[in-house]
Every structure is written in C-alpha cells, then in structure tokens.
Amino acid sequence: MRLFVALPLPEDIRRSLASLCSGLPGARWVSPESMHITLRFLGELSGREMDDVDAALAGIRAPRFNLSLAGVGHFGNGRQLRSIWAGVTREPALMHLHDKVESAVVRSGLAPERQKYQPHVTLTRPKGTPVPKLQEYLAAHSLFRSEPWEVAYFSLYSSFLASEGAIYREERRYELGRGWPIGEYDEDLDDFDEVEEGEEAGGRWAEADESRHG
C-alpha cells in the first residue's frame, strides 16, 4: 500500500484554502477534502512494514499544539514547476513532531528522508503555467492567513490513484497529548530541550500509574 503520515485540516481551514483555488487557467486543484500537511511520505509498504511503522508511530509521545497557514509558494520553477502550495507558520512543536515521526519511521526499518522538511499544503500540481500567471497568482495571495487551529492528532493515510486523481484514506490515528512533558523550548537548539522517553516512562508516567493503582 502507498502510505504517508500527515496532519488533516479542519473543515473551516479547508474552506478558507478553497479561496486560493482559482486564478490559474488550466490548473487542476486539489479537492478540499484531500488537503493535508504531509509529515512523512512513506511510499509503497508491505503489510508487515505498515504494521511496524504503525507500532512505532503509536509509541510517539508529543504534545498538542496550535498551527496556522500563511502565504503561498511553489516547488520548482518554469517548466519544472512541480506544485503550488499554502505555507505553514513557523511552529517549533510541528518540527518536533516531524522529528519524532522521522525517528519512529527509521526505527521501524525504513530509510531516512534526505530532503529537508518544508511543511506545506499542496493546492495544485500545475502543467504549463506561464511564469507571469504564476507571479500574478503568488502576489495576489501573499497575504493569505488562516485562523489557528489545534492539532490534536496525526494520521497514517493510504493513497490510491484513481482517474480523478489520488484518493486518500485515513488508516490510523495517533493522539497527541495534553500537557505532555516536552521540556522547554530552547532558542539556540531551535527545538525542545526534551525529557527523554525513558525519563517520561520512569518519571511522570510511573507516578501517574502509581496514583492510579493506589
């Protein structure tokens, strides 16, 4: 199965993204229900590999966070223009979650991702868009901003190619925690000065367990 890990988008956010889906003649726009923020593309996996990735993802401990979208951009240029997307505001907790997903995926046996992670929501994968039209589009939407929303879980999706484009199906869902012991955000590290997962298990979690069992 072709799989990827992603954050789904709430309906009102997808609705506001739909306002970006016009103004490029001939473009085929991603339908609002398919819009998402990929955390990690996994590619074609066997059932066994999927189970291993699923178990590793289910072990991730990370907190909920707020996210919003801002601006539009593109991958590739000229004839090699690959996609036009909405950007995601800088959010250390998102990068932290991405890093945890990456480690989990590698721990489950898949090869590490080589490309730098650049979160985005693909709007269209254009073919033959004239450069002036693209520039006009980018300028017209540079001030796009969404409302913030709370990211409370991430999901494993499968992707099937159909004649009308790719169809995505949520296969698994992984909750993010409220008040997880993530540690302090460290400007120099540009990450969280993290509480190790072992510490979590032996510390706060063990205490919670003890209090539950009296």
What is the C-alpha to C-alpha distance for residues 71 and 12, in angstroms, rounded to an integer?
Answer: 17
Least distance between ligand 2AM and beta carbon 159 (Å): 5
21 to 40, contacts with ligand 2AM by CB under 6 A? Answer: 38
Nearer to ligand 2AM, 168 or 192 (CB): 168
* CA–CA distances in Å: residue 154 to residues 29, 128, 174: 24, 34, 5
Least distance between ligand 2AM and beta carbon 168 (Å): 7
Tell me whether residue 187 is exposed, middle or buried, using C-beta atoms within 10 angstroms of its C-beta: 0 to 12, 13 to 18, 19 or more.
exposed
Binding mask 154-193 toward ligand 2AM (x if CB under 6 A, else -) reads: -----x------x---------------------------
122 touches ligand 2AM (CB under 6 A): yes
CA distance between the termini of the chain: 45
What is the C-alpha to C-alpha distance for residues 36 and 56, in angstroms, rounded to an integer?
Answer: 21
The residue annotated as part of the active site, out of 74, 96, 98, 120, is: 120
- Residue of 68, 73, 83, 148 that binds ligand 2AM (CB under 6 A): 83
CB 49 within 8 A of CB 57: no
Residue 158, SS3 per DSSP:
strand
Q: Active site includes 120?
A: yes
The residue annotated as part of the active site, out of 36, 74, 96, 98, is: 36
* Per-residue burial over 105-137, b = 16 or more CB atoms within 10 Å of its CB, e = otherwise: beebebeeeeeeeebbbbbbbbeebeeebbeeb
- Residue of 21, 32, 41, 92 that binds ligand 2AM (CB under 6 A): 41
What is the C-alpha to C-alpha distance for residues 182 and 64, in angstroms, rounded to an integer?
Answer: 10
Least distance between ligand 2AM and beta carbon 43 (Å): 7
Least distance between ligand 2AM and beta carbon 16 (Å): 18
Binding mask 130-159 toward ligand 2AM (x if CB under 6 A, else -) reads: -----------------------------x
Q: Active site includes 96?
A: no
Nearer to ligand 2AM, 139 or 166 (CB): 166
Strand 83-88 and strand 120-124: the pairing is antiparallel
Given the rule CB under 6 A, which residues bind ligand 2AM?
A: 4, 38, 41, 83, 122, 159, 166
